[in-house]
Amino acid sequence: MKAVPLRKLVLGIGGLAAFILLWKLVTDAKLVSPVFFPGPERTYVALVKGLSGGPLLSQTFETVKRMLLGWLLASFVGILFGALVGVSKRARAFIAPTLELLRPLPASAMIPVAIAFLGFSDNMVLVVIAFGALWPMLLATVHGFAAMEPRLYEVSEVLGLNRAQVIWKLALPSAMPMILASLRLGLTISLILAVVGEMLASREGLGQSILAASRSFRSADLFAGIVILGAIGLFGSRLLSVAERHLLRWQASSR
Amino acid sequence: MSAARVLKNGGRAAALPVALIVLAQVAATVTQLESDSLASPADIAMAFVSVMGDGTLLKATADTLKAAAAGCLLGVGAGSLLGIVLGLFRIADDALDLTIELLRPVPVVALIPVVMMLLGFGAEMEIVIIALGMLWPSVVLARAAVKEVEPRLMEVSNVLQLGFAARVWKIVLPAILPQLFMSLKLAAGYALVVAVTVEITANPLGLGYGIMMAQQALRPAEMFAYLIWIGAVGWLISVLLNAAQRTFFPAFVNGEGR
């Protein structure tokens, strides 16, 4: 990894400072009513207060827990089912078209269905997150397996590998770049659906917290919640990028 | 591919959905299903005909699609413009990169309460949220596209001493048109998702609100009819945009996986 050049760093921090200054100027000049739009200081104060002793910390914890549980569930089911479908040409011919058909369905459209079955519960939110985050991983695994070098399948026959060995030793590593990219996308979707689920089902978490803040016109608390949500998204995707680079080291050297 | 082969592939593709529908119908008939959360395929089909017949479904579809289209064009337009500027001026790019990277991961649904507070309910609020959701991906795609424009074209524009507007209009835009279309294509599918999400979460109009109301009125057949219709609309949009891409930018279709 190359170090960030100094010029870029200085300009970047300057740009961020300018952005915050602009934000402050807009709110100080009261271009938008301060009831709706808090300045950076008020947001910062609300953030610090909420995180030190306030409810924000436990809400953040709840949302992150929900997001991670749903994401793990989706990854597990998606990659497993994707591998089972992807490894057999026949299963692909029968099942893949139905999966492609279902893919453009907005995951949030499943929320009413999930409510009908599970009510306004934590499990409902979890199922919605898992269902929504499932698709990218499932399809990436199926496509990754389908795109495997055909000679590798011939190699596996020559070596007399059974199906589980083909999946574990050949297909999964070769589909890994696609799967890892889909894991990152899945995490983004998980965060979005965690927030939506909390808003709709009033389960504890940042989604419910920012909706309540907006209804009672506590705009500083609302913005503090959004800042944390942004930080969760940023941190999650950065972490997975690092993991991606680490896990795909072999690829750069073998090509 | 021969006709027989197309038929065989199509038959295999249709086998699973058809089998599932038949199985669901048989199960519903055998158990004489009476439920607040499940409905038999025949009931769903009947509910579909009824909401289609009285026009509620079409009106909801029009509301959702209008908001999605307006938000999509607004977001992709503004985002692409910013992306082009950032792609052309390295200093602007360096200055704004950090800020954009910090703003980009904010989940778009987190903005629902903010925009709701500022604009109340209605189509406007939904359009603004969709546009905000489309903004950053469009910035990133347009910026990358401009940076990949053949450097000689830029040299040509320097030699011709084109002004900024002329340079964008005559050199950059034609060169990045395929990427812009791809950006629009990705955004269109995503815009529908955001539109339905906003409607389910807060906004009382469109398909998302319709499916939510059907659930709350304990009419599962209608709920599933909406669900299938939403899926069909999403699928149709992606098919149409893929076809358009193949027609207008045939050389670019395979460049998608980058």
| Three-class SS of chain B | CCHHHHHHHHHHHHHHHHHHHHHHHHHHHHHCCCCCCCCCHHHHHHHHHHHHHCCHHHHHHHHHHHHHHHHHHHHHHHHHHHHHHHHHCHHHHHHHHHHHHHHCCCCHHHHHHHHHHHHCCCHHHHHHHHHHHHHHHHHHHHHHHHHCCCHHHHHHHHHCCCCHHHHHHHHHHHHHHHHHHHHHHHHHHHHHHHHHHHHHHCCCCHHHHHHHHHHHCCCHHHHHHHHHHHHHHHHHHHHHHHHHHHHHCHHHHHHHHC
B102: domain CATH number is 1.10.3720.10
Q: Which among A205, A200, A117 has a CA at the least distance from the CA of B199? A: A200
The residue whose two tokens read 């100080």 is A28
- Domain total for chain B? 1
- Domain total for chain A? 1
Asked whether residue B227 is domain-assigned, the answer is yes
- Nearest by CB to B37, which of A8, A117, A213? A117
Asked whether residue B209 is domain-assigned, the answer is yes
Asked whether residue A138 is domain-assigned, the answer is yes
pLDDT tens, position by position, B150-185: 888 888 888 888 888 888 888 888 889 988 998 898
Q: Identify the residue among B114, B139, B219, B242 best suited for mutation to test binding to A, counting A beta carbons within 10 A and taking the highest.
A: B114
Indicate whether this complex's ipTM tops 0.90: no
| Range 34-93 of A in CB contact (< 8 A) with B | 36-37, 93
Asked whether residue A28 is domain-assigned, the answer is no
* Contacts with B189 from chain A: Cβ below 8 Å: 104
Asked whether residue B37 is domain-assigned, the answer is no
A87: domain CATH number is 1.10.3720.10
Asked whether residue A27 is domain-assigned, the answer is no
* Size of the A and B interface in Cβ pairs below 8 Å: 169
In one letter, which amino acid is B177?
L
Average of per-residue pLDDT values in chain B: 87
User: B143: domain range?
Assistant: 45-257
User: A173: domain range?
Assistant: 57-249
Nearest chain A residue to B221 by CA distance is: A113
DSSP-assigned letters across all residues of A126-143: HHHHHHHHHHHHHHHHHH
Q: Identify the residue among A111, A121, A218 best suited for mutation to test binding to B, counting B beta carbons within 10 A and taking the highest.
A: A111
Asked whether residue B145 is domain-assigned, the answer is yes
Tens of pLDDT along chain A (255 residues) come to 456 678 888 888 999 999 999 988 888 888 777 788 888 989 999 999 988 888 899 999 999 999 999 999 999 999 999 998 888 888 888 888 888 888 888 888 899 999 989 988 999 999 999 999 999 999 999 988 888 878 887 888 888 888 888 888 888 888 888 899 899 999 999 999 999 999 988 889 999 999 999 888 888 999 999 999 999 999 999 999 999 888 888 765 544
pLDDT tens, position by position, A25-68: 888 888 777 788 888 989 999 999 988 888 899 999 999 999 99
